[in-house]
């Protein structure tokens, strides 16, 4: 990404636009090093700090946007129409709020921003198509303009031990020398007063959500997506949640997709399915249902009942199992008894300890109202 200034100031390559920022940012992942000696594309194999992941301060309206982002994988690639609509509504609410005026002239625009969401993660340049929609990598933008060497950098972080790919762009940007590859811009439509959240819209209709600091749930989900430090992230998340809330967790209704467990699945898919080690759970009217798609058109279903047995524990008995194929079902003789300990639960994430003392993380994909 690179800063963009008024169009009249960059018509000639010999005319440098004044160092006067407007409320737009140019988006570009197609810079060619051969286009200009002033453009440097470097691969830096180094360790670097991530976006500050300490607990951030967000307004109620900003929290609504973050809630809408929870559970969307691939920075928007896997978003359902309902999820996209929820994000767009939350974005529009914030765009109607009083954020930082003239955001790209504010000191708050500077720093390292993490890309959390885009409405078109797979339709832009080859680099964007390769990296932006993959949760295994983190995508950042660094904005540092109030220095003797002002620069905007796009960063793909592979891991702490591999390092990152960094594309640096000097400011002002020689757009004319870069040609059509560099054309594109982002209008910064919202910058939070805390400087932690930024919304931008591109000239092709793309919406971007970036954050300097992440919500604890986002930090946890990022660890699960990359498969690194998950147990530590869970422990830290649970410790933080206990210090903030004294309310007793309640098992909420809805469809819950398992995204992580502390035990690797066994060789028997039937055992995995019957013990809740795969697939989703549907909680409704005092009943729980395990549902696993086995093959196209064939699913495993197991239904049981649960009762609250303690402050945060439930006794679950699953005893009605079947293989389902279209309108037909083949009953299976199975029974599973589980003492579920609910460690954390909100309307998006559930952390529990279940069968054989295994730790589970579930994402709520539906509230069960439909």
In tens, the pLDDT along 34-73 reads: 333 333 333 332 323 334 444 567 899 999 999 999 988 7
Give the pLDDT confidence score for residue 127 in this predicted structure: 52
The per-residue pLDDT for 214 is 85
269: region left, alpha or beta (phi > 0 left; psi from -120 to 50 alpha): alpha
Alpha-carbon distance of 132 to 126, in angstroms, equals 10
> What was the pLDDT predicted at 225?
84
Count Cβ atoms below 10 Å from residue 304 Cβ, excluding itself: 18
Find the range with the poorest average confidence among 56-70, 168-182, 248-262, 307-321.
168-182
Q: Is the pLDDT of residue 129 over 70?
A: no
Q: Is the CB of residue 50 less than 8 Å from the CB of residue 57?
A: no
Count other Cβ atoms within 10 Å, centred on residue 11: 11
For 281, the token pair is 């759970």
Mean pLDDT of 200-207: 82
Per-residue pLDDT at 120: 67
Average pLDDT over residues 93-120: 88
Distance CA 341, CA 295 (A): 31
Residue 181: count of CB within 10 angstroms of its CB: 14
Q: In the predicted model, what is the mean pLDDT of residues 175-203?
A: 74
SS (H, E, C) 28-67: CCCCCHHHCCCCEEEEECCCCCCCCCCCCCCCHHHHHHHH
Q: How far is CA 112 from the centre of its chain?
A: 16
How far apart are the two ends of the chain, measured CA to CA in Å?
42
- If you average pLDDT over residues 63-91, what whole number do you get? 87
Helix (H) or strand (E) holding 117: strand 111-118
Please choose, from the candidates 291, 289, 52, 43, the residue with its C-alpha nearest in 3D space to the C-alpha of residue 155: 43
pLDDT confidence bin for 18, thresholds 50/70/90: very low
Higher pLDDT, 116 or 17: 116
Q: Which of 166-170, 244-248, 255-259 has maximum average pLDDT?
A: 255-259
Q: What is the pLDDT of residue 154?
A: 79
Q: Is a pLDDT exceeding 60 seen at residue 316?
A: yes
Q: How many residues does the chain have?
A: 370
Residue 28 has pLDDT above 50, yes or no: no
């Amino acid at each position: 990404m690179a800063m963009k200034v008024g169009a009249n100031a960059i018509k000639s390559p010999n005319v440098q636009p004044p160092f006067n920022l407007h409320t737009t940012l140019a988006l570009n992942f197609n810079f060619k090093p051969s286009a200009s000696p002033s453009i440097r594309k470097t691969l830096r194999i180094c360790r670097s700090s991530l976006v500050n992941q300490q607990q951030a301060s967000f307004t109620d309206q900003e929290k609504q946007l973050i809630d809408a982002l929870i559970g969307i994988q691939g920075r928007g690639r896997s978003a359902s129409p309902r999820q996209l609509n929820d994000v767009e509504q939350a974005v529009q609410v914030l765009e109607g709020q009083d954020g930082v005026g003239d955001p790209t002239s504010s000191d708050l625009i500077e720093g390292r921003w993490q890309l959390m969401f885009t409405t078109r993660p797979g339709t832009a340049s080859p680099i964007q198509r390769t990296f932006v929609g993959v949760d295994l990598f983190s995508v950042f933008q660094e904005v540092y303009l109030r220095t003797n060497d002002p620069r905007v950098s796009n960063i793909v972080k592979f891991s702490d031990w591999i390092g990152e790919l960094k594309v640096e762009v000097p400011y002002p940007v020689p757009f004319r020398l870069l040609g059509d590859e560099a054309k594109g811009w982002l209008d910064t439509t919202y910058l939070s007063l805390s400087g932690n959240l930024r919304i931008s819209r591109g000239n092709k209709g793309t919406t971007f959500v970036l954050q300097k600091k992440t919500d604890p749930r986002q930090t946890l989900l990022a660890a699960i997506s990359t498969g690194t430090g998950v147990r530590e992230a869970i422990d830290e998340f649970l410790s933080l949640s206990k210090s903030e809330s004294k309310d007793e967790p309640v098992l909420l209704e809805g469809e819950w997709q398992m995204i992580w467990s502390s035990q690797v699945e066994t060789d028997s898919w039937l055992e995995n399915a019957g013990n809740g080690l795969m697939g989703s759970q549907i909680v409704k009217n005092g009943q729980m249902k395990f549902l696993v798609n086995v093959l196209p058109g064939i699913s495993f279903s197991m239904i049981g009942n649960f009762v609250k047995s303690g402050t945060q524990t439930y006794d679950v008995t699953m005893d009605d199992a079947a293989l389902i194929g279209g309108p037909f079902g083949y009953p299976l003789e199975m029974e599973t008894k589980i003492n579920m300990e609910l460690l954390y639960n909100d309307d998006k994430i559930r952390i529990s300890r279940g069968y054989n003392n295994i730790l589970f993380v579930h994402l709520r994909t539906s509230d069960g109202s439909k």
